Amino acid sequence: MASSYVQKVIRSVKKSNPHQPEFIQALEEVLHSLEPLFLKDPKYQQNGILERIVEPERQIMFRVAWTDDKGRVQVNRGYRVQFNSALGPYKGGFRFHPSVNLSILKFLGFEQIFKNSLSGLSIGGAKGGSDFDPKGKSDAEVMRFCQAFMTEAFRYIGSTIDVPAGDIGVGAREIGYMFGQYKRLTSSFEGVLTGKGLKWGGSLARKEATGYGSVYFASNMLKARNMDLEGATCAVSGSGNVAIYTIEKLYQLGAKPVTASDSRGCIYHPAGINLDALKQVKEVERASLARYAELCKDAKYIPAKEYPKDQHPVWNVPCKLAFPSATQNEV
């Protein structure tokens, strides 16, 4: 009975969302894992809970027109998927990356519902962003894009409505630009965005939280199996906030992270990632990891164009533990 109920809902979603593979994949993984619950208690089927939870409460798509440094108008697409507010205001990040589309945001927003509910806080699930790529853009271009994005998005968010955060391509700089535009448009200084700088209402350890949390989870999982991180060689993907602070916490707990990656290539550093160099390259210079190889001569840099087909070099490095910290479906 539970299986037929789940299959019925999945078939319906596939029919209404035929070109959204990432969303359908996440849906199938979550719903199949919950089949024992539906078998045990028929109230979920009787009250159409699945039918309601798989359909976002609101899907917003808008145009973002901004001006580059040469005075040319550029146009990107912006999104906000407000998936579920049963427990409280929508909560989930903004992602700025060329891969952003409705399928990926619905996948992320759907899973955000459950992530947020497990926190014990009264917050719902959402996700948003744009296909804008901050890489290679000047600070002024990023600022103008963020202001243009918020000019469209501000009417859908608020401290008791929807509280976005950062995600891929959206750090404290981008959050600051968007928060400034929100204040300008609403004449209101409120906690409508998390991930702000400490000088204008941000929280201590906000930047480190996701990476640290990943390592704490792994540490506790290993302890439950009478193992620990001490001396373990670890492969880490990504080089943003999650990856950098995963690497930092791995060092603090005695492990040795040896890889990092970005969209242009990956680093393999057998002696262990030089955290100061990585922060200099990514947080100060905002450069490619090729720059890391210039600073650390014993590290090997592999450009993305040289990757074997469908095979990321990070996952070919000999290691005891792997920490995917870049994007979805990495391994």
Known catalytic residues are: 127
- CA of residue 195 relative to chain centroid, distance: 13
- The amino acid at 69: D
CB 215 within 8 A of CB 301: no
Write phi, then psi, for 93 (nearest 5 degrees).
Answer: -80, 165
Distance CA 58, CA 222 (A): 40
Strands 300-303 and 58-67: unpaired
- CA of residue 72 relative to chain centroid, distance: 30
Distance CA 269, CA 280 (A): 16
Distance CA 296, CA 29 (A): 41
Contact partners, residue 11, CB within 8 Å, separation at least 6:
none
CB 17 within 8 A of CB 107: no
For residue 291, the surrounding DSSP H or E stretch is helix 290-295
**Unique residue bearing structure tokens 């992530």:** 115
For helices 102-118 and 21-33, angle between their N-to-C axes, nearest 10 degrees:
30
CB 262 within 8 A of CB 288: yes
Distance CA 171, CA 207 (A): 8
